């Protein structure tokens, strides 16, 4: 029995016990993890800085976001609406007549998480996937990202300490490392779901593997995204300089290593933005998260600049130099296969359009994205654009830039393929839905029902009763 099998067996054994914990117990666990991470912030940030080359301020901010997120999930579990509890009393007038039916969501069981390279806290060992799965009541086994192994191990130690301090069995949380171990985790029979943040190719391989299991399991991938931005002629004329500054900041933030980096910007011909932007592109070459990401950036950039009609407006020299490209809509459309590939890193492609029709013809060709951003003026007629962007992406922004992702009930971090392969989000409170499945109880005696479904609703959670939503206590 290797490490993975041991961890999975242990997780499987404790799954019923962990599923049976109360909401208050799981909130205490999540707060406990947040507390030990906050207490260990100096050490964690130091290790993270050494392994990722990300600046300290960014890492401190990301850690704060991560512990805040853990606490938010704890609060959501106690609030209880995530259970989608429904009580339907018997009704003989239904067709067919309805027995007493009560339903709520239950944890899936042990789940596997593949950590990302680019957020060593927020999308890694104790990040959003782990927080939401623990909140749901599922044991978690994380596959560490090879980009920050020491940080992963240290974070895992802290999580395990918090699990122990909460009086829960060690099987609630585990960490594995290495490519082969990751595959063994996906194949392990008791694993009930896999979540992943990373490349389209990696996600595609894991999706296929999850589906090919003797017992297929759901795969929740957050994959590639172009994050198109549309600037109308009126917006460009009114505030092209301001937009240039905003875009410069957004596409170079964190060396462009964000899944929400704006990678393609539709600007009107003769744009002010396009004139202002080159001067705001940094000359300094950032250190990328890993060698592999640096190589991928160089390859992607070379493929784009090799296209006839693509101009390099800034950068393009040094291996990881922030790079600003520009081209015409017609060139993009003729080279969609190359130019609509995400280049992970500090690069964005400005695409000039002659008129609304040409802009629409580009939008119609774009693949799915996590985000789409519209910069327009009150004078613009945007109805068609909003509808189009809503079909393209999971989040449509009307101000600012897509590189910030708030953690809230209304957040959606997902979108049409290849942004994700699912109808779920990986950020925000509703990401917990990935790790739950419904169970209905028919004509159950009071003593057989979970408290959440009893008539007296002792926990005071929000429910739907006989068709009507009833807020919590």
User: Contacts with its own copies in 101-120 (CB under 8 A)?
Assistant: 101-103, 106, 108-109
**How many Cβ atoms from other residues are within 10 Å of residue 465's Cβ?**
15
50 vs 387 by CB, closer to its own copies? 387
**Least distance between its own copies and beta carbon 368 (Å):** 8
Q: Among residue numbers 413 through 432, which ones bind its own copies (CB under 8 A)?
A: 414, 416-418, 421-423, 425, 430
The active-site residue out of 51, 62, 192, 222 is: 222
Q: Which value, to the nearest 10 degrees, does the dihedral of the CA atoms of residues 389, 395, 400, 406 take? A: 180
200 vs 266 by CB, closer to its own copies? 200
Instruction: Establish if 439 lies at the interface with its own copies (CB under 8 A).
Output: yes
Instruction: Establish if 8 lies at the interface with its own copies (CB under 8 A).
Output: no
In terms of Cβ atoms closer than 10 Å to its own Cβ (0-12, 13-18, 19+), residue 157 is: middle
The H or E element spanning position 9 is helix 3-19
**Least distance between its own copies and beta carbon 12 (Å):** 11
Instruction: Establish if 412 lies at the interface with its own copies (CB under 8 A).
Output: yes
In terms of Cβ atoms closer than 10 Å to its own Cβ (0-12, 13-18, 19+), residue 339 is: buried
Please provide the DSSP assignment of 424-436 as one string.
S-SSSGGGGGGGE
Rounded CA-CA distance 197/203 in Å is: 8
The active-site residue out of 62, 192, 259, 342 is: 259
**Least distance between its own copies and beta carbon 429 (Å):** 9
**Which residue from 291, 308, 399, 456 is in contact with its own copies, where contact means CB under 8 A?**
399
Rounded CA-CA distance 304/69 in Å is: 37
404 vs 458 by CB, closer to its own copies? 404
The H or E element spanning position 238 is helix 233-252
Strand partners, 141: 112, 174
Nearest CA among 43, 420, 361 for reference residue 199: 420
Instruction: Establish if 472 lies at the interface with its own copies (CB under 8 A).
Output: yes
**Which residue from 55, 167, 270, 400 is in contact with its own copies, where contact means CB under 8 A?**
400
Instruction: Establish if 249 lies at the interface with its own copies (CB under 8 A).
Output: no
Residues 6+ apart with CB under 8 A from 252: 281, 282, 322, 346
**Which residue from 1, 57, 357, 448 is in contact with its own copies, where contact means CB under 8 A?**
448
240 vs 402 by CB, closer to its own copies? 402
What does the DSSP 8-state code read for residue 98?
B
Q: Among residue numbers 71 through 90, which ones bind its own copies (CB under 8 A)?
A: 79, 81, 84, 86-88
Q: Among residue numbers 43 through 72, which ones bind its own copies (CB under 8 A)?
A: 61, 64-65, 68
CA atoms within 13 A on the CB side of 419: 29
- Tokens (6 digits) for 158: 């802290």
Instruction: Establish if 16 lies at the interface with its own copies (CB under 8 A).
Output: yes
The H or E element spanning position 182 is helix 179-187
Instruction: Establish if 390 lies at the interface with its own copies (CB under 8 A).
Output: yes
How far, in whole angstroms, is CA 168 from its chain's centroid? Answer: 28
Instruction: Establish if 394 lies at the interface with its own copies (CB under 8 A).
Output: yes
What does the DSSP 8-state code read for residue 97?
P
**Least distance between its own copies and beta carbon 294 (Å):** 27
In contact, 452 and 75? CB cutoff 8 Å? no
220 vs 297 by CB, closer to its own copies? 220
Q: Which value, to the nearest 10 degrees, does the dihedral of the CA atoms of residues 383, 385, 388, 390 take? A: -80
**Least distance between its own copies and beta carbon 393 (Å):** 8
Instruction: Establish if 447 lies at the interface with its own copies (CB under 8 A).
Output: yes
Q: Among residue numbers 147 through 206, which ones bind its own copies (CB under 8 A)?
A: 204
The H or E element spanning position 205 is helix 200-212
309 vs 404 by CB, closer to its own copies? 404
**Which residue from 406, 451, 458, 460 is in contact with its own copies, where contact means CB under 8 A?**
406
109 vs 346 by CB, closer to its own copies? 109
Binding mask 209-238 vs its own copies (x if CB under 8 A, - otherwise)? --xx--xxxx--------------------
Q: Is 138 marked active-site? A: no
Instruction: Establish if 382 lies at the interface with its own copies (CB under 8 A).
Output: yes
**Least distance between its own copies and beta carbon 249 (Å):** 15
Rounded CA-CA distance 459/283 in Å is: 58
- Tokens (6 digits) for 82: 């995530």
Residues 6+ apart with CB under 8 A from 300: 341, 342, 343, 344, 345, 347
In 315-435, at which residue ranges do the beta strands (DSSP E only) sit?
323-328, 347-353, 369-375, 393-397
**Least distance between its own copies and beta carbon 301 (Å):** 25
Residues 6+ apart with CB under 8 A from 378: none
Instruction: Establish if 22 lies at the interface with its own copies (CB under 8 A).
Output: no
Q: Is 13 marked active-site? A: no
**Least distance between its own copies and beta carbon 17 (Å):** 10
**Least distance between its own copies and beta carbon 127 (Å):** 14
- Tokens (6 digits) for 315: 């950068």
Q: Among residue numbers 361 through 380, which ones bind its own copies (CB under 8 A)?
A: 374, 378
Q: Catalytic residue numbers? A: 222, 259
């Amino acid at each position: 029995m290797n490490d993975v099998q041991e961890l999975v067996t242990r997780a499987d054994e404790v799954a019923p016990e962990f599923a049976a914990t109360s909401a208050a117990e799981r909130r205490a666990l999540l707060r406990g993890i947040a507390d030990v991470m906050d207490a260990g912030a100096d050490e964690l940030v130091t290790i993270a800085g050494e392994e990722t080359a990300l600046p300290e301020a960014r890492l401190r901010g990301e850690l704060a976001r991560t512990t805040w997120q853990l606490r938010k999930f704890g609060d959501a579990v106690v609030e209880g609406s995530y259970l989608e509890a429904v009580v339907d009393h018997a009704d003989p007038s239904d067709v067919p007549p309805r027995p007493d039916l009560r339903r709520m969501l239950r944890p899936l069981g042990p789940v596997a998480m593949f950590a990302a390279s680019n957020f060593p806290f927020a999308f890694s060992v104790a990040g959003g996937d782990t927080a939401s799965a623990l909140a749901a009541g599922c044991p978690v086994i994380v596959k560490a990202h090879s980009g920050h192994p020491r940080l992963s191990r240290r974070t895992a130690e802290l999580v395990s300490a918090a699990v122990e301090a909460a009086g829960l069995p060690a099987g609630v949380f585990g960490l594995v490392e290495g490519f082969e171990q990751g595959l063994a985790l996906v194949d392990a029979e008791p694993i009930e779901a896999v979540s992943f943040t990373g490349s389209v190719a990696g996600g595609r391989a894991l999706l296929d593997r999850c589906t090919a299991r003797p017992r297929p399991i759901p795969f929740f991938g957050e994959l590639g995204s172009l994050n198109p931005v549309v600037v109308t002629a009126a917006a460009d004329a009114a505030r092209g300089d301001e937009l240039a500054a905003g875009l410069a900041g957004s596409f170079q933030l964190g060396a462009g290593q964000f899944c929400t980096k704006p990678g393609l910007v539709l600007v009107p011909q003769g744009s002010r933005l396009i004139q202002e932007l080159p001067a705001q592109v940094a000359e300094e070459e950032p250190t990328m998260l890993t060698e592999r990401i640096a190589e991928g950036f160089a390859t992607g950039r070379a493929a784009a600049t090799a296209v006839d009609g693509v101009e390099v407006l800034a950068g393009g020299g040094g291996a990881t130099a922030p790079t600003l490209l520009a081209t015409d809509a017609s060139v993009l459309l003729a080279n969609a296969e190359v130019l609509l590939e995400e280049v992970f890193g500090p690069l964005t492609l400005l695409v000039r359009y002659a008129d609304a029709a040409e802009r629409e013809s580009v939008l119609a060709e774009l693949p799915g994205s996590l985000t789409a951003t519209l910069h327009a003026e009150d004078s613009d007629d945007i109805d068609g654009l909003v509808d189009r962007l809503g079909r393209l992406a999971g989040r449509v922004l009307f101000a600012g830039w897509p590189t910030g992702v708030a953690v809230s009930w209304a957040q959606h971090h997902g979108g049409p393929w290849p942004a994700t392969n699912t109808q779920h989000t990986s950020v925000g409170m509703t990401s917990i839905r990935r790790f739950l499945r419904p169970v209905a109880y028919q004509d159950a005696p009071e003593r057989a029902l979970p408290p959440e479904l009893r008539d007296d609703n002792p926990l005071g959670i929000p429910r739907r009763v006989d068709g009507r939503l009833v807020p919590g206590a």
